[in-house]
């Protein structure tokens, strides 16, 4: 069985002076707690020893209905700087556990605020049995179950359970979901560095979500070390607190901000229309609509099963909240209206057999764009290939070419006519049929092709597979949006790529100035 200590809380974000209830179960009884802000370093703000936790049982359906453990400890947030805080638990029997807390500013202190993609953390969290992608099996102390109806991806998930360990901190320092090298001749495809995570004892499903040692962490470490102050919020804060973005000049979405609720989307749109700016250094952004029930205790994402299984689909009054693709016709709000781009028009790069021999960088089209000012980049140049800047999941748009030889957007499914395409790279939504593949089938042909083209057909499936990663910008309302179009942008900053750094500075200078 082994030793373990697990924790969850009644909230993921709080302001100074507010309290957070921790629910903890452990084999060792006594434990110590340490709270530290993570960025470029690790700054400890709280430490207490000699606390006691019981060992509590867990039902097989804990991933759906929650754990129901009693409250163990009340943490009062001090006058701590806004940021991501690791809650480190060390038990007397040597077990280590981690949880998280986002400390929000009492009022805006910085010009920029990062919105941590906690909806995506929830979607990938398989603690207790399943996430929205797969049944992974129970995690101690959940009881084994042979109930086949639980052995499926979950559409409803409880927040009253811990996060799986690899979401809180990966087991391996190498866990990027990008192939390190271009695929060789007749070489089998791979899933990138996930293999290192699994060999280190981790779960591959934990790699696409979480803060520590991942995209958001890399970005804030770079930004704060380069003099850009940032406040922090979670996805749910935009849902729960209308106008929470007031007072900021720019809202940032970094890495893998895949799941958005309607309330979050409305707050972001209100913000940019009123003159705020949005910086998207993410891929697969706002792809699936999710929703919250039970006052934030239940997270709902039926995804590709939404048309058949989500009860909201049957009622015209709630159909727009059905938890499928944002680009599906019933939402009335394809994500490109806000982001300029969509994963439907992009896809994977250097992942499995998807663009497996791609260079991993962007090709420049508009050298005179403000985002490329003083970057020493010119038409046809490729940048970011040395750090796999274009990889894993990427967003794009349908495009054509004008008489000037430059790509122009085809304005459909929310893609704005005034979108400025700065750079592109090929991407695809799934692997081609081949004896060398087998990692990345398209997630759901029917919902994807119906959203993309109105109906499913072999021709639409073929066209859907030919996408582009796109870096772009456009003005919306009184504000402006910059979209890097790739999950891997923050790793370009972490690598010190001079082109990526200068473009990021150009964007922040323009949007925060």
Instruction: Identify the band that residue 438 occupies on the pLDDT scale cut at 50, 70 and 90.
Output: confident
Q: Using the predicted structure, report yes or no on whether residue 146 has a pLDDT greater than 90.
A: no
19-26 vs 5-9, strand pairing mode: antiparallel
Query: Would you say residue 403 lies in a domain?
Result: yes
| Chain centroid, CA 395 distance in Å | 13
Q: How far apart are CA 404 and CA 216, in angstroms?
A: 38
209-219: pLDDT as tens digits: 999 999 999 99
Beta bridge mates, 76: 19
- Collapsing DSSP to helix, strand or coil, 52 comes out as strand
Question: Residues near 73 by Cβ (< 8 Å), separated by ≥ 6?
Answer: 21, 22, 24, 33, 51
Query: Would you say residue 366 lies in a domain?
Result: yes
Q: Which of 379, 397, 374 is nearest to 473 (CA)?
A: 397
Beta bridge mates, 423: 364, 471
- Strands (DSSP E) contained in 318-358 are 342-349
Query: Would you say residue 424 lies in a domain?
Result: yes
112-139: pLDDT as tens digits: 999 999 999 999 999 999 999 999 887 7
Q: Which residue bears the tokens 């990062």?
A: 114
**Numbers of helices and strands, H then E, in the chain:** 13, 25
Q: Which helix (H) or strand (E) holds 232?
A: strand 230-234
Overall average pLDDT of the 374-379 stretch: 98
Of 103, 138, 156, the last residue of a domain is: 103
Q: What is the pLDDT of residue 437?
A: 85
Total structural domains within the chain? 2
Say which CATH number the domain at 17 has: 2.60.40.10
Q: In this prediction, what percent of the chain has a pLDDT beyond 90?
A: 92
- Collapsing DSSP to helix, strand or coil, 141 comes out as coil
Query: Would you say residue 317 lies in a domain?
Result: yes
Instruction: Identify the band that residue 366 occupies on the pLDDT scale cut at 50, 70 and 90.
Output: very high
Query: Would you say residue 289 lies in a domain?
Result: yes
Q: Which residue bears the tokens 């910086």?
A: 279
Query: Would you say residue 421 lies in a domain?
Result: yes
- Collapsing DSSP to helix, strand or coil, 30 comes out as strand
Query: Would you say residue 193 lies in a domain?
Result: no
Overall average pLDDT of the 169-186 stretch: 96
Query: Would you say residue 203 lies in a domain?
Result: no
Low-confidence winner among 51-60, 359-368, 382-391 (lowest mean pLDDT): 51-60
Q: How far apart are CA 228 and CA 219, in angstroms?
A: 11
Q: What pTM, to 2 d.p., does this model score? A: 0.97
Overall average pLDDT of the 177-203 stretch: 94
322-353: pLDDT as tens digits: 999 999 999 999 999 999 999 999 999 999 99
Q: Using the predicted structure, report yes or no on whether residue 1 has a pLDDT greater than 60.
A: no
Asked whether 483 and 395 are in contact (CB, 8 A), the reply is yes
Q: How far apart are CA 161 and CA 434, in angstroms?
A: 40
Average model confidence (pLDDT) for the chain? 96
Q: Using the predicted structure, report yes or no on whether residue 508 has a pLDDT greater than 80.
A: yes
Structural domain containing residue 257: 249-512
Low-confidence winner among 57-61, 63-67, 185-189 (lowest mean pLDDT): 57-61
Q: How far apart are CA 343 and CA 465, in angstroms?
A: 11
Q: How far apart are CA 77 and CA 15, in angstroms?
A: 7
Of 68, 103, 138, the last residue of a domain is: 103
Of 63, 85, 103, the last residue of a domain is: 103
Q: What is the DSSP string of 418-448?
A: T-EEEEEEEEBSSPPS-TT--S---S-HHHH
Q: How far apart are CA 32 and CA 166, in angstroms?
A: 21
Q: How far apart are CA 492 and CA 480, in angstroms?
A: 23
Overall average pLDDT of the 378-382 stretch: 98
Residue 199 CB coordination number (10 Å)? 11
Q: Round the CA-based radius of gyration of the chain to a whole number and report it.
A: 22
Q: How far apart are CA 147 and CA 61, in angstroms?
A: 10
249-262: pLDDT as tens digits: 999 999 999 999 99
Q: Using the predicted structure, report yes or no on whether residue 240 has a pLDDT greater than 90.
A: yes
* Strand arrangement of the beta sheet that strand 230-234 belongs to: 230-234, 112-116, 250-255, 277-282, 479-483, 467-476, 420-427, 362-364, 382-383
Q: Using the predicted structure, report yes or no on whether residue 444 has a pLDDT greater than 90.
A: no
**Rounded (10°) angle between helices 215-225 and 498-512:** 70
Beta bridge mates, 13: 102
């Amino acid at each position: 069985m082994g030793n373990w200590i697990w924790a969850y809380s009644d909230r993921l974000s709080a302001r100074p002076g507010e309290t957070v209830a921790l629910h903890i179960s452990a084999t060792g009884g006594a434990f110590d707690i340490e709270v530290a802000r993570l960025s470029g370093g690790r700054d400890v703000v709280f430490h207490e020893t000699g606390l006691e936790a019981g060992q509590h049982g867990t039902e097989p359906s804990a991933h759906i209905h929650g754990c129901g453990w009693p409250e163990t400890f009340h943490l009062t947030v001090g006058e701590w700087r806004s940021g991501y805080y690791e809650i480190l638990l060390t038990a007397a029997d040597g077990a280590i556990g981690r949880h998280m807390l986002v400390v929000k500013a009492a009022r805006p202190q910085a010009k920029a605020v990062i919105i941590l993609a906690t909806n995506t953390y929830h979607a990938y969290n398989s603690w207790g049995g399943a996430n929205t992608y797969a049944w992974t099996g129970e995690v101690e102390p959940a009881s084994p179950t042979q109930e086949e109806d639980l052995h499926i991806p979950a559409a409803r998930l409880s927040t009253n359970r811990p996060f799986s360990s690899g979401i809180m901190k990966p087991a391996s320092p190498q866990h990027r979901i990008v192939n390190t090298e271009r695929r060789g001749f007749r070489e089998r495809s791979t899933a990138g560095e996930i293999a290192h995570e699994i060999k280190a004892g981790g779960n591959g499903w934990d790699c696409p979500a979480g803060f520590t040692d991942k995209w958001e962490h890399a970005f804030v470490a770079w930004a704060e070390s380069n003099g850009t102050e940032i406040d922090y919020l979670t996805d749910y804060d935009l849902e729960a607190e209308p106008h929470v973005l007031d007072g900021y000049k720019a809202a940032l979405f970094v890495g893998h901000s895949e799941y958005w609720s309607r309330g979050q989307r409305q707050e972001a749109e209100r913000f940019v229309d009123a003159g705020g700016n949005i910086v998207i250094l993410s891929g697969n952004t706002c792809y699936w609509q999710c929703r919250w029930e039970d006052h934030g205790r239940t997270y709902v994402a039926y995804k590709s099963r939404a048309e058949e299984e989500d009860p909201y689909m049957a009622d015209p009054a709630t159909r727009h909240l059905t938890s499928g693709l944002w680009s599906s016709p019933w939402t009335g709000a394809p994500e490109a209206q806000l982001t300029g781009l969509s994963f439907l028009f992009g896809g994977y790069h250097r992942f499995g057999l998807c663009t497996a021999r791609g260079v991993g960088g962007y090709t420049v089209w508009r050298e005179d764009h403000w985002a490329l000012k003083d970057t020493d980049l010119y038409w046809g140049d490729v940048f970011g290939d040395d750090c796999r800047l274009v990889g894993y999941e990427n967003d794009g748009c349908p495009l054509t070419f004008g008489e000037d030889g430059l790509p122009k957007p085809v304005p459909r499914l929310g893609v704005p006519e005034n979108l400025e395409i700065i750079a592109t790279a090929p991407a695809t939504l799934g692997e081609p049929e081949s004896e060398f593949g087998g990692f990345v089938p398209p997630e759901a042909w029917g919902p994807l092709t119906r959203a993309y083209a109105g109906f499913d057909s072999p021709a639409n499936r073929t066209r859907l597979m030919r996408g582009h990663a796109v870096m772009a910008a456009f003005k919306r309302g009184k504000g402006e949006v910059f979209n890097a179009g790739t999950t891997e942008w923050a790793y370009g900053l972490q690598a010190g790529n001079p082109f990526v750094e200068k473009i990021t500075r150009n964007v922040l200078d323009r949007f925060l100035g």
